[in-house]
């Protein structure tokens, strides 16, 4: 039986596949950590906005917009807190 | 000419050095990514626990029913009240939060149970580890010790501001 080793091409292809898989894995991990960070920021934002609406936190850059629904006897208050690339929005409904 | 000559010592050493470099880089990257992954999992768990605890505590405080007391005893903070939002029991329940040494403990009993800060032995459980915890109750002014039914309760848990307006929630179930 003729015994021969791997050719350079075979080794290089294997290394490229291994590197691709590792890079994909590392990117996935990076995305998971980024998602965790976003969740933490969102959690803090939600409670800060909630406290702001209850008058317990000042100086929050909240954008407020009032609108009303034509066929419904209600007014809609929209409160938006911008957190860079994310936005937290609360709606408050009240009778007209 | 002999086609089957072996490798020279220099060739073998060069290959060994190259293989060593590649392997050590791969091991370092894998080790670092595994550490980062474990750190990420721990952070995610912390965020989840904080979100659950804060949501739960806010709901319970919004459902305060007739009795509430906030007291500081030495190094511990005690919060006891009746609420419509229990975890274990339906209907009105008596709960006690005890904060000591950066840990929040929770105890729940069906109402009526006994004194407001009492807890049956073995019923208390660890809810969350915190780096900072502040609580005040409001009834015309913010107070750090309080007995009665407050209008609002304000908490600061790990820097997260939580405000509960008492009486805005009747029951979760």
Q: What is the mean pLDDT of chain B?
A: 90
What kind and span of H or E run contains A81? strand A74-83
What is each CA distance from B22 to A9, A19, A63, B29, in whole angstroms? Answer: 17, 11, 53, 11
Q: Which of A56, A58, A59, A92 to mutate to test the interface with B (most CBs of B within 10 A)?
A: A56
Q: Whole-angstrom Cα distance, residue B117 to residue B106? A: 11
Q: What pLDDT is recorded for position B172?
A: 46
B168 DSSP 8-state letter: S
What kind and span of H or E run contains B135? strand B133-138
| Interchain proximity B43–A40, CB inside 8 Å | yes
Q: Where are the domains of chain B?
A: 50-165
Beta-strand relationship, B93-100 and B133-138: unpaired
Start-to-end C-alpha separation, chain B: 91
**A57 part of contact set with chain B, CB < 8 Å:** yes
Q: How far is A71 from chain B (nearest CA, A)?
A: 28
Q: What pLDDT is recorded for position B100?
A: 96
Q: Where are the domains of chain A?
A: 8-95
Q: Which of B6, B37, B38 to mutate to test the interface with A (most CBs of A within 10 A)?
A: B37
User: A76 pairs with which residues across the strands?
Assistant: A67, A93
What is each CA distance from B30 to A11, A19, A23, in whole angstroms? Answer: 21, 12, 11
**Beta-carbon count within 10 A of A88 CB:** 20
Q: Whole-angstrom Cα distance, residue B118 to residue B123? A: 11
Q: Which residues of B113-152 are buried (b: 16+ CB within 10 A; e: fewer)?
A: beebbebeeeeeeebbebeebebbbbeeeeeeebeebbeb
| Interchain proximity B163–A56, CB inside 8 Å | yes
Structure tokens at A4: 């021969």
| Interchain proximity B40–A47, CB inside 8 Å | no
Q: What share of chain A in percent tops pLDDT 70? A: 98
Q: Would you say the ipTM is above 0.90?
A: no
| Interchain proximity A36–B36, CB inside 8 Å | no
pLDDT at A91 over 70: yes
Closest CB to B33 among A26, A40, A56? A26
| Mean pLDDT to the nearest integer, B52-77 | 93
């Amino acid at each position: 039986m003729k015994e021969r080793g791997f050719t350079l091409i075979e080794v290089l292809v294997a290394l490229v596949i291994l590197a691709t898989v590792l890079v994909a894995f590392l990117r996935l991990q990076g995305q998971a950590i980024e998602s965790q960070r976003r969740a933490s920021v969102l959690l803090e934002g939600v409670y800060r906005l909630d406290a702001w609406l209850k008058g317990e936190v000042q100086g929050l850059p909240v954008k407020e917009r009032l609108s009303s629904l034509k066929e419904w006897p209600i007014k809609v208050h929209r409160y938006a807190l911008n957190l860079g690339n994310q936005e937290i929005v609360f709606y408050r409904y009240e009778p007209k | 000419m002999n086609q089957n000559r072996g490798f020279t010592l220099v060739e073998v050493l060069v290959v060994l050095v190259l293989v060593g470099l590649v392997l050590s880089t791969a091991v370092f990257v894998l080790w670092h990514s595994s550490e980062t992954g474990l750190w990420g999992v721990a952070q995610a768990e912390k965020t989840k626990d904080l979100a659950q605890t804060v949501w739960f505590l806010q709901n319970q405080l919004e459902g305060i029913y007739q009795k509430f007391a906030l007291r500081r005893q030495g190094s511990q903070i005690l919060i006891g009240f009746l609420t419509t939002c229990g975890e274990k029991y339906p209907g009105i329940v008596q709960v006690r939060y005890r904060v000591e040494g950066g840990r929040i403990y929770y105890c729940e009993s069906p109402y009526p149970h006994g004194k407001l800060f009492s807890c049956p032995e073995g019923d208390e459980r660890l809810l969350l580890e915190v780096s900072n915890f502040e609580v005040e109750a409001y009834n015309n002014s913010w107070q750090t010790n309080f007995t009665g039914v407050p209008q609002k309760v304000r908490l600061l848990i790990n820097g997260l501001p939580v405000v509960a307006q008492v009486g805005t929630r009747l029951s979760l179930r």
